[in-house]
Structure 1
Amino acid sequence: MNLPLTLTFYILAAVGISKSGFGSGIGVLGVPLMSLVIPPAQAAAIMLPLLCVMDIFNVLHYRRRRFDRANLIILVPAALLGILVGIFTFRYLTDAHIRILLGVISILFVGNFFRKKQEGQPAVGPDRVKGSLWNTIAGFTSFGVHAGGPPVNIYLLPQKLDKTIFVGTTVVFFAIVNYVKLIPYALLGQLNGDSIFSPPSIPLFSPPKA
């Protein structure tokens, strides 16, 4: 058994299950976990096409369901700004910088988990200032390591949206963000044969063998 390839396969499977069932969740740990096996930038490049394929199925599944347009109007422009920041800072980010970013995101992920446990807090409505702040961060972290979930959740969870609306909103949001990211990833040379068809990416196309 080739452990790195098998580990990568199960990481990608976990991300797929998370995105299909919950809109985000453990999916934010995809690149951090893959970075244990391969460089973070390569992990991000391998993940993006897969995320885009998942988004097609998720959007088709939720196309007749509800999502919060008022929040999307705040979420999407802020995320695009964050992606723009990511584009201009990409050349200055080393693997060490990315790993620090991954650490911060992992802490946010844990904090968000405990935030979900809070009860008794009154629901709040969409907030353009907070939404712009958190989702600019989401756009930046999503561009770098596909981990925009924690900032988005920090903004959306206090609103206590209906579960279907919450998942539908995040599905539409991340589908837009991921397909926008294809353009700068290609222009920056991230999407190429060396990254997509390198040995660690083989689990994308075939299951692991014992």
Structure 2
Amino acid sequence: MHQPAFWVLGLIAVTIIGLAKGGFIGFGILGTPLLALAIPPVQAAAIILPLLLVQDAVGIWSFRKTWDAYVLKVMLPGGIVGIAIGYTFAASLPDSWVLGALGILSIVFGAYRLWIERGGRAAPAVEWPAWAGFLCGTASGLSSQIAHAGQPPFQLWAMPRRMPRDVYVGTSSIFFGAMNWIKVPAYAALGAFTPSNLIASAALLPVAILSTLLGVRLVRRIRTEGFYRIAYALLLLVGVVLLRNAVAG
């Protein structure tokens, strides 16, 4: 971890995740794969998790007055189930299967939503049933436990509801803040929080906080319609990255 490549990639990864936690939803999924170019993926995830906890706190505080209780009531129980599944079957469930499925879903859904909103069209809100939200929450918890990749399933159910921008970001912040705290015991049981990993996390912490605050400031300058188009485009990009990682790994 003392190699320059680790610190360069670490700073880039943490900045990207911070912008995502500040409101550019989905973008942060690129962080762990970037850091994994310099160190083993499991170690990269262990270093990033403490930073996520702090960044989640910044995001939750910034959007503390704007969140949707119904979305959390539907998706959080599923997320807990997904984390439990991911922990239980961590050794036998191939990461590539999960990432590949998420990649395909993200590409199809992101492309579809961009198509129906092409030319500035405003798509009507779609409220899918609660059971679908529970399943998406489960998929989000599972993929979050495996690779900090829980955003796409959350977006599949939450984004079509067309919540106001700040409500969507606030709801996402609370959901993933809860998910990340629930993951802590599982990571601790796996021995992920070694002294060297925690030192690396602490060194990257100032950038994590500043980049999250920057994300909050930038996203508040974007109108709701433009925010969702950016989110769908990022989801499409994330799908491509996930599918590539699944094929490569």
Q: Normalised by the size of structure 2, how large is the TM-score?
A: 0.72
**Equivalent runs, 1:132-147 vs 2, <5 Å:** 132-147=134-149
Check whether the contact 1:137–1:151 (CA below 8 A) recurs between aligned residues: yes
CA RMSD of the aligned region, Å?
2.4
Check whether the contact 1:9–1:203 (CA below 8 A) recurs between aligned residues: no
> What is the CA–CA distance in structure 1 between the aligned matches of 2:23 and 2:133, rounded to whole Å?
24
> What is the CA–CA distance in structure 1 between the aligned matches of 2:104 and 2:36, rounded to whole Å?
16
Gaps of 5+ in 1: none
* Equivalent position amino acid for 2:49 in 1: L
Distance 1:116 1:16, change over 3 A: farther
- Greater displacement, 122-131 / 50-59: 122-131
Matched with 2:162 is 160
Aligned residues: 200
* Equivalent position amino acid for 2:185 in 1: I
Q: Normalised by the size of structure 1, how large is the TM-score?
A: 0.84
> What is the CA–CA distance in structure 1 between the aligned matches of 2:40 and 2:97, rounded to whole Å?
13
Matched, 1:34 2:35: yes
> What is the CA–CA distance in structure 2 between the aligned matches of 1:108 and 1:130, rounded to whole Å?
14
Matched, 1:69 2:66: no
Instruction: Report the CA distance between 1:84 and its aligned residue.
Output: 0.5
Instruction: Report the CA distance between 1:205 and its aligned residue.
Output: 5.5
> What is the CA–CA distance in structure 1 between the aligned matches of 2:106 and 2:35, rounded to whole Å?
16
**Equivalent runs, 1:89-168 vs 2, <5 Å:** 89-92=89-92, 97-99=94-96, 101-117=98-114, 118-119=116-117, 121-125=123-127, 127-168=129-170
Q: Calculate percent identity across the aligned residue pairs.
A: 33
> What is the CA–CA distance in structure 2 between the aligned matches of 1:99 and 1:39, rounded to whole Å?
16
Check whether the contact 2:51–2:205 (CA below 8 A) recurs between aligned residues: no
Check whether the contact 2:29–2:149 (CA below 8 A) recurs between aligned residues: yes
> What is the CA–CA distance in structure 2 between the aligned matches of 1:10 and 1:42, rounded to whole Å?
17
- Greater displacement, 183-192 / 142-151: 183-192
* Equivalent position amino acid for 2:135 in 1: L
Check whether the contact 2:5–2:38 (CA below 8 A) recurs between aligned residues: no
Distance 1:90 1:16, change over 3 A: same
Distance 1:144 1:175, change over 3 A: same
Check whether the contact 2:82–2:141 (CA below 8 A) recurs between aligned residues: yes
Check whether the contact 1:40–1:98 (CA below 8 A) recurs between aligned residues: no
Check whether the contact 1:14–1:26 (CA below 8 A) recurs between aligned residues: yes
